[in-house]
Structure 1
Amino acid sequence: MRFLPFVLALTCASPAFANVPCGGSFSSFVNNTKAEAMRLGHDKSTVNTFFANAAHSPAVIKADRSQGVFKKDFIDFSRAVISQNRMSNGASYGEKYKSVFKKIEQNYGVSRGVLLAFWALETDYGQVQGNFNTLNSLLTLGHDCRRPELFQPQIFAALELYEHGDFDPVRTQGAWAGEIGMVQMLPEDILRNGVDGDGDGHVNLKTSAPDALMSGGKMLKGLGWRAGEPWLQEITVPSNLDWSKTGLTHKISVGDWAKMGITARSGNLGKSNLKASVLLPMGRKGPAFLAYPNFDVYFEWNKSFVYVTTAAYFATRLEGAPAYQAGNPDAGLSDAQMKSLQTKLQKRGHDVGKVDGILGAKTRAAVQAEQQRLGLPADAWPTTALLGAL
């Protein structure tokens, strides 16, 4: 369930991979990519075999252009994807691979709930890994001029995996955006973070849960995961909280939040010196969380605010946290209203990115700024009242 263009696990292209022009005829693009691969030192015969069945995939382009899931709010999305079946399977798999999770925690400091949640949301514990030919997905998106700098490096990384015996250009399948395996990792991520967790001499993220989980743990550590620290915690907030201090751009010590009346809904707050943000995914009347430094690492895995918040919350549930208190949030905006709001915010000088109807980080920041200016509760949740006031 990795959604582009919001993925950040896609690593930046190196200058050596910026020489293949996008667009034009697909066959010319493939030929230019082959020439670039040989220029980089790959064997001509290997390159020809690797690209022998290359084909453009209209289905990939269609999937890339229709990512409507991001227009769901946190409550709708989290309730849709966190089922009792996934909770039960999470407990079962956590026990089945107990020794693997213990090793991951020892080596990388990543708690088991975090990886179980990704495993569930990405592929339903490996059951739905995608049926797109991975090489053709990467070639199609590398040829498309929307984000070639993100996808072209993955083509060459897949070629390197092929040379290692860990990628089949004809048979390797995965998500439409080129991710492979149980936790949906891109070829570059596999090259850098792949771990042979079952000791068979290969990194196979499609059929080996130990390989997939160990690789995911290593990747998270490389992205900055801090061992032994929390990532997200449901909290109770006082009704008189200064809402302008909430949101991911505002980081205050846990001790200071406690002085403002923040309390943990269950258990205890994290260490008082940890910096944290009060996260209100649906405004001051909805669920409330304290987001710790490790929460930021989630955005290195996926850029969608709703997906990230859901994955982090799911991880806490898999480790025993209660279901969140939904509260009674103000109704959100329709797609047309959200686009209208973004247009109005742009006219007022705010950078909201693309006018796409998605309540992302930039739109939230702009909403909060306008709420402050208008004297409204600055909780970054857009309402019809705000839209009317603008």
Structure 2
Amino acid sequence: MRTHAVKTRAMRNHARLLLAGLALLLPASGALAQASCGGDFGAWRNAVVEEARAAGVGQAGLNAIASAQNNPEVLKRDRAQGVFTLDFATFARRLISQNRLDVGAAKLKQYASTFDRARSEYGVAPEVITAFWGLETDFGGYQGDFNTLNSIATLAHDCRRPELFRPQLIALARLIDLGVVPRDITGAWAGEIGMVQVLPEDYLTKGRDGDGDGAIKLKTSAPDAIMTAANFLQSLGWRANEPWLIEVQVPAEMEWYDTGLHEALPVSEWKARGVTARNGDLPDNAATHLLIPMGRKGPAFLAYPNFNVFLEWNQSLTYVLTAAYFSTRLGGAPIFTEGNPEPGLNQAQMKQLQAKLNADGFDVGEIDGILGAGTRDAVREEQRRLGMPADAWPTATLLNAL
């Protein structure tokens, strides 16, 4: 269920480092070849085989790359992800069913000893791992049926994000060569594998044997998946024994421009502005974000530094806020207060707004009708310029004003 349209910062950085390391192993012509994409698939595939050979991948892995096929269905999925046009409340209601909450609670009990070990070794809260497990694959119930080798080869050959997927193809070849996964392994259309949907490079470097059988089986072993997810989240900067998200109540009037991910303020400052916890109190912290995903009249949350780890896993605010909120529900938090937000824009209106913002000099990225970070930032600036509450929630009033 991960938003494949926007890959993680961690993945981008890892890809750059891996490519840089591989470049040192190749002659100049090979370094140029590794940056290529598109063109004849067979010729491109042969170049990747040689790149992998120079990087030390064995014959089984090289044979796997040589057998990879282009899958047009993967590109269709990559270009069409309409579910992410939904607002936070609708998206969260759709993904967080009572059944998922019940199964999540049961998994927490069933694998309590593994979760305790994951917390002890990596500091990650069990409900956080469980939330990703549930949202990504319904606790392993559906892990995707795309041929992973073909999916990653297709995305690496495509010129939209080759720098992200070419290293993943070589990492997958190494996993195959080592016998960790079979050549015909299946997973999500964007190349993720297993119960918690990790990419091959993360499987290779963050995979952990949680059940002690000497193998790392992320598709079939829940303990392996739990320990791997914990290791991965810690590597992204998870801070033990700290909160990640707390629902709050906000006053009717305040400086809305400071809300969102662009501004971090101490908890004491938010309290001084009238922000209070819906239940209990707000632990002190020097750098927290007030998130109002549907504007000042909708749900409100205070995001602590650990929330940044969710964003490293995935960069869609709607998805990660849902995952973070789901994990708080698994920990006993009540259903969020939806409030009375102003009606948002439909996809056609959002595209119209994005086109207008781009024409006015903002960079909102692709005109896709999805309320991403670039669109939110531009909306906030235009709202402030027009004297409106700058809460980054686009409405028909703003669209008409523009």
The TM-score range, normalised by the shorter chain, is: over 0.9
Shift of 1:163: 2.4
- Contact residue 280 and residue 287 of structure 1 kept, 8 A: yes
Distance 1:352 1:230 in 2: 31
Cα distance change on mapping 1:48 and 1:217 into 2, 3 Å: closer
Per-residue CA distance 1:252-291 (angstroms, 9 max, x = gap):
10011111111110122122x3311110000011100001
Moved more, 31-40 or 178-187: 31-40
Structure 2 residue 205 is matched with structure 1 residue 202: no
The residue identity in structure 2 corresponding to 1:31 is N
Hey, what does 1:346 align to over in structure 2? 358
CA distance in 1, matches of 2:200, 2:157: 17
Conserved in 1, the CA contact under 8 Å of 2:5 and 2:81? no
Counterpart for residue 296 of structure 2: 284
Which of 88, 100, 108 is matched with 1:86 structurally?
100
Letter in 2 for 1:88: D
The equivalent of 2:153 in structure 1 is: 139
Letter in 1 for 2:38: G
**Residues in 2 aligned to 1:258 and 1:48: alpha-carbon distance in whole angstroms:** 58
AA partner of residue 195 (structure 2): M
**Which residue is equivalent to 1:239?**
252
Aligned to 2:281, which of 265, 268, 282?
A: 268
Question: Which runs of 5 or more structure 2 residues have no equivalent in the other structure?
Answer: 24-30
Residues 118-144 of structure 1: per-residue CA shift (max 9 Å, x gap): 000000000000000111111111111
**Greater helix percent: which structure?**
2
Q: What is the alpha-carbon root mean square deviation over aligned residues?
A: 1.3
Aligned match of 1:151: 165
Is the CA contact 2:46–2:66 (under 8 Å) kept in the aligned structure 1? no
Distance 1:232 1:260 in 2: 19
| Cross-structure match for 1:34 | 49
Q: In the aligned structure 2, how far is the partner of 1:48 from the partner of 1:261?
A: 61
* 3-state SS, counterpart of residue 6 of structure 2: coil
Aligned mate of 2:314, from 302, 305, 308: 302
Contact kept in structure 2, 1:109 and 1:227, CA below 8 Å: yes
Q: Percent identity?
A: 54
Shift of residue 47, structure 1, vs aligned partner: 4.0
Letter in 2 for 1:7: K
Aligned positions of 1:16-31 closer than 5 A: 16=22, 19-20=33-34, 21-31=36-46
Task: Kindly indicate whether the alpha-carbon contact (under 8 Å) linking 1:73 and 1:306 is maintained by their aligned counterparts in 2.
Answer: yes
Q: Distance in 2 between matches of 1:53 and 1:32?
A: 13
User: Any conservation in 2 of the 1:118–1:311 contact (CA below 8 Å)?
Assistant: yes
1:50 to 64, 86, 89: 64
Equivalent residue for 1:177? 190
Amino acid across the alignment from 1:2? R
Deviation, structure 1 residue 48: 4.5
Q: Deviation at 1:167?
A: 1.5
Question: How many residue pairs were aligned?
Answer: 387
In the alignment, structure 1 segments of 5+ residues that lack a partner are none
Residues 114-123 or 243-252, more deviating: 243-252
CA distance in 2, matches of 1:62, 1:348: 31
Q: Contact 1:51–1:169 (CA<8 Å) still a contact in 2?
A: no
TM-score by length of structure 2 reads 0.93
- Give the letter aligned to residue 137 of structure 1: S
| More deviation, 247-256/349-358 | 349-358
1:218 to 231, 241, 247: 231
* 2:89 alignment partner, SS class: helix
Aligned positions of 1:289-368 closer than 5 A? 289-368=301-380
Runs of 4 or more consecutive aligned structure 1 residues displaced over 6 Å after TM superposition = none
Deviation at 1:240, TM superposition (A): 1.7
SS at match of 1:278: strand
Deviation track 1:82-126 (CA, whole Å, cap 9, x = no partner) reads: 000000001000000001111111111111111111000000000
Alpha-carbon offset, residue 348 of structure 1: 2.2
- Per the alignment, residue 65 of structure 1 pairs with 79
Shift of 1:169: 1.2
Normalising by structure 1, we get a TM-score of 0.96
State the distance in 2 between where 1:331 and 1:302 align.
26
Instruction: In structure 2, give the amino acid aligned to 1:133.
Output: N
Partner in structure 2 of residue 117 of structure 1 = 131
Equivalent position amino acid for 1:147 in 2? R
Give the secondary structure class of the aligned counterpart of 2:247.
strand
Counterpart of 1:131, as a letter, is D
Per-residue displacement from partner, 1:224-256 (whole Å, max 9, x unpaired)?
Answer: 111111111100111122111211111110011
